[in-house]
């Protein structure tokens, strides 16, 4: 069951057009279609017509695929490059300009490590705003290397008092945060959400069309692995597991959806082993269609704060085989909507994939159970409600905390 802690749902429902506007500035690392980017985009979609709410977005590193779709929604969106030489000076100048606006933001809400930390350093330049931050997991710090990791941890601990509310994307992330000294009274859970209305099981003609688009020959099983092609997500584990599946199902095809530094080496390995593997790259609006057209989606990530791609897969009615790690235990009902496995063991992953391919009726039943679970507990509308309630509470002069 999803947790939504710290603020009530449907907070302050009585309001009219004469109420002052609530201005929220969402700060991202980039406009790429990653978990944080997609989360903020879907929140903007759901909340853009909310009376009295004005949303703006900014990316502090680089642009990405979501910039123009956000602008098409009517959301003011920009990029301020704050990394590299002169980056901090640009950050300070931008913060000063935001703080001196006639109508500055009431809430600044950051996502990911870099925006989270640097906004703390300049928050005094935006004196009107309360500061909130969504934490997608603490593993990002350890990925910075020894020296940078220490620096980030020290800066994080010294500046936590400048943040008015921390949002954990799952109960697992909140537990990890509390174990690392984050304040319990300012750390709440708002799970990521998916649009169970826009994402749904596909029809057979759509499934055939998708297979054609992916250059999948024949009617054999389609196994999909979606996510960044980085070590943490286990793409080589997936490839090794698929090699075992292919021995039993020689007509099966594996499709990698996503990009990353491991793509070339994965392509070479798949070619050397003569495995039918497709490398599709990033997909945007067609991703739900691909997930729904798969027979099984594999996600052997070793660390996962929530697992948005898994939630989208379940919403599409497709069973999953994913790593038994972090937030996956909240999202996937083992043996009911999919299987939780050791993300380092290709043989275990292959066995579960083969189980699903051997019993298509059970696979469909598990897929539908996953969809029902996600629709009941992780629908994006509930997530948007919870964020809006938090922003209203933070911006209210009479409500200075979140507990």
pLDDT digits 0-9 by tens, 258-276: 999 999 999 999 999 999 9
Using only C-alpha atoms, what is the Rg of the chain?
Answer: 22
| % residues pLDDT > 70 (the chain) | 91
**Termini Cα distance of the chain:** 21
Region(s) of the chain under CATH 3.40.50.2000 = 22-193+379-395, 204-377
Orientation angle between helical segments 263-272 and 235-248, nearest 10 degrees: 20
- Average pLDDT value for residue range 48-76: 94
Please tell me the predicted confidence (pLDDT) of residue 141. 62
Q: Distance between CA 200 and CA 67 in Å, rounded?
A: 25
The domain defined by 204-377 carries CATH number 3.40.50.2000: yes
Q: Binning pLDDT at 50, 70 and 90, where does residue 144 land?
A: low
- Average pLDDT value for residue range 370-378: 93
pLDDT for 163 beyond 50: yes
22-193+379-395: CATH topology: Rossmann fold (3.40.50)
pLDDT tens, residue by residue, 6-44: 543 333 434 444 457 999 999 999 998 877 888 889 999
Q: Binning pLDDT at 50, 70 and 90, where does residue 199 land?
A: confident
Please state, in angstroms and as integers, the Cα–Cα distance from residue 302 to each residue in 236, 322, 391, following that order. Answer: 12, 9, 33
pLDDT for 133 beyond 60: yes
Q: Which of 19, 20, 23, 36 is nearest to 98 (CA)?
A: 23
Structure tokens at 22: 């609530």
pTM score, whole prediction: 0.86
Structure tokens at 176: 């990890």
Please return the burial class of 81, using the count of CB atoms within 10 Å of its CB with bins 0-12, 13-18 and 19+: middle
Most confident of 134-148, 188-202, 355-369: 355-369
């Amino acid at each position: 069951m999803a947790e939504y802690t710290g603020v009530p749902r449907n907070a302050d429902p009585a309001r009219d057009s004469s109420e002052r506007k609530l201005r929220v500035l969402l700060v991202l690392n980039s406009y790429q279609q990653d978990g944080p980017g997609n989360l903020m985009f879907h929140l903007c979609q759901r909340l853009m017509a909310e009376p009295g709410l004005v949303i703006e977005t900014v990316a502090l590193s680089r642009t990405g695929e979501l910039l123009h779709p956000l602008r098409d929604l009517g959301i003011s969106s920009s990029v301020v490059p704050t990394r590299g030489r002169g980056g901090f000076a640009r950050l300070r100048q931008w913060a000063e300009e935001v703080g001196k606006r006639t109508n500055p933001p009431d809430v600044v809400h950051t996502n990911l490590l870099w925006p989270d930390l640097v906004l703390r350093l300049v928050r005094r330049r935006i004196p009107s705003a309360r500061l909130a931050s969504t934490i997608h997991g603490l593993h990002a710090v350890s990925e910075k290397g020894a020296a940078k990791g220490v620096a980030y941890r020290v800066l994080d601990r010294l500046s936590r008092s400048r943040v008015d509310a921390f949002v954990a994307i799952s109960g697992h992330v909140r537990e990890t945060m509390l174990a690392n000294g984050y304040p319990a009274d300012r750390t709440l859970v708002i799970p990521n959400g998916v649009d169970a209305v826009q994402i749904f099981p596909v029809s057979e003609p759509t499934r055939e069309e998708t297979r054609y688009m992916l250059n999948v020959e024949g009617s054999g099983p389609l196994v999909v692995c979606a996510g960044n092609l980085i070590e943490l997500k286990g793409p080589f584990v997936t490839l090794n597991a698929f090699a075992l599946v292919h021995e039993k199902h020689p007509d099966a095809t594996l499709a990698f959806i996503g990009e990353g530094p491991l793509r070339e080496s994965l392509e070479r390995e798949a070619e050397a082993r003569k495995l039918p593997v497709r490398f599709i790259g990033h997909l945007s609006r067609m991703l739900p269609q691909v997930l729904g057209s798969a027979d099984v989606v594999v996600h052997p990530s070793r660390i996962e704060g929530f697992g948005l791609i898994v939630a989208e897969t379940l919403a599409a009615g497709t069973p999953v085989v994913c790593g038994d790690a972090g937030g996956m235990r909240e999202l996937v009902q083992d043996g009911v909507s999919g299987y939780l496995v050791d993300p380092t063991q290709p043989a275990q992953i292959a066995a579960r994939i083969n189980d699903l391919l051997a019993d298509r009726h059970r696979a469909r039943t598990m897929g539908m159970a996953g969809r029902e679970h996600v629709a009941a507990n992780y629908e994006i509308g509930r997530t948007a409600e919870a964020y809006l309630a938090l922003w209203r509470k933070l911006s209210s002069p009479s409500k200075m905390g979140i507990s």
